[in-house]
Amino acid sequence: MNALTGYAVGDSGRILATTDGGATWTRQTSGTTNWLNSIHFPLDALTGYTVGRSGTIRKTTDGGANWATQTSGTTNVLTCVQFPVDAQTGYITVSNGTLRKTTDGGANWASLNSGTSNPLTSVYFPVDIQTGWVVGAGGLIRKTTDGGATWTPQVSGTSNILNGVYFPTNAQTGYIAGGSGSGSTILKTTDGGIGVEERPGGEGRSPVAGFKASPNPFCSSARIPGHEAERFALYDVSGRQVGTCQGGRIGADLAPGVYFLESGGQDARPLRIVKIR
């Protein structure tokens, strides 16, 4: 699609279309009164999909003049839809923590297990149908590299709901937005989610309440000046706790890699540390 043609969805099955860059919007007949949450046209302004409450999926092949019903296989809320490279293989996030996937343009939708029951809010595959991310409630981030067959947790450093994920040009640099009543959350990665950093405009929490590891990256071990006697929880990049360590000697027994430290009782996101050998 070009910058002039666009679509928007909302309550009561509302679909709006513009062909003049948003100067005017025309309502389309979606065939449902269910709230619609997401819309996506993969390649052009003709073939698109929209999803919403009660497992609603609608597909158009004529630019929205007509919308046909598709069977999702669930009555849960469908929150986001994306077709990464064509109009055949697509993914939908669901409010019960699962996903739906089609490889035949929506004629059939299969359930995918994301490994969580947290509500999922957004899905994005940047360059192909294999590598993608989902985000959701409780600061949840998960990544797949096999088309959704398996999903690996990534550390977000926040418990706020994450509402949207987007990788502009490749599978390395991406952004996530979310928030709660305490403020907004904006996250960025430049390494495919191995290390996620909070951007200005986030909820203002600092890594481990402002503690810093020195040196970082390190070879043999690191320490947190002024907090050498304190104990920290230690996590790997999948979010799995791999032990605890003392602030005066961190990482001595670790294999090279990326890890995260968390201080108990602190309202702070984890501190990323890197052991290089």
The confidence band for 179, taking pLDDT boundaries of 50, 70 and 90, is: confident
CA 128/CA 120 separation, integer angstroms: 21
Give the residue-averaged pLDDT of 95-110.
97
Sequence-distant (6+) residues with CB within 8 A of 242 are 234, 235, 236, 259
Q: What is the side-by-side order of every strand in the sheet holding 68-70? A: 36-40, 48-52, 57-60, 68-70
Tell me the helix, strand and coil percentages in the chain, rounded to 5: 5, 45, 55
State the Cα–Cα distance between residues 157 and 203, nearest whole angstrom.
11
Of 90, 52, 89, residue with least CA distance to 69: 52
The answer to whether 196 and 156 have CB atoms below 8 angstroms apart is yes
Q: How far apart are CA 181 and CA 183, in angstroms?
A: 6
> Is 80 exceeded by the pLDDT of residue 268?
no
How far, in Å, CA of 204 to CA of 254, rounded? Answer: 30
Does residue 200 carry a pLDDT above 60? no
SS3 121: strand
Tokens standing for 229? 């006697």
- pLDDT at position 1 is 67
DSSP states along 159-170 = -SEEEEEE-SSS
- Residue 14's pLDDT band, with cuts at 50, 70 and 90, is very high
Instruction: Answer for the pair 114, 120: CB distance below 8 angstroms, yes or no.
Output: yes
Length of the chain: 277
Cβ pair 164, 178 in contact under 8 A: yes
Question: Could you give the dihedral angle defined by the CA atoms of residues 260, 263, 264 and 270, in that order, rounded to the nearest 10 degrees?
Answer: -40
183 vs 145 pLDDT, higher one:
145
How many other CB atoms are there within 10 angstroms of residue 238's CB atom?
12
Query: Does residue 266 register a pLDDT over 50?
Result: no
Choose between 195 and 248: higher pLDDT.
Answer: 248
85-120 burial: b if 16+ Cβ within 10 Å, else e: eebebbbbbbbbbbbbbbeebbeebeebebebebbb
Strands ordered across the beta sheet of 152-154:
120-124, 132-136, 140-144, 152-154
Q: What are the boundaries of each domain within the chain?
A: 6-198, 208-275
Q: Quick one: fold of 6-198?
A: Methylamine Dehydrogenase; Chain H (2.130.10)
Residue with tokens 């390649």: 43
In this predicted structure, the answer to whether residue 258 has a pLDDT above a threshold of 80 is no
Predicted pLDDT at 239: 64
The residue-averaged pLDDT of 223-228 equals 86
Task: Report pLDDT for 231.
Answer: 86
Q: What is the pLDDT of residue 182?
A: 57
Condensed to tens digits (0 to 9), the pLDDT of residues 230-257 reads 888 887 765 667 888 888 999 888 888 7
pLDDT, tens digit, 9 for 90 and up, residues 127-149 = 999 999 999 998 899 999 999 99
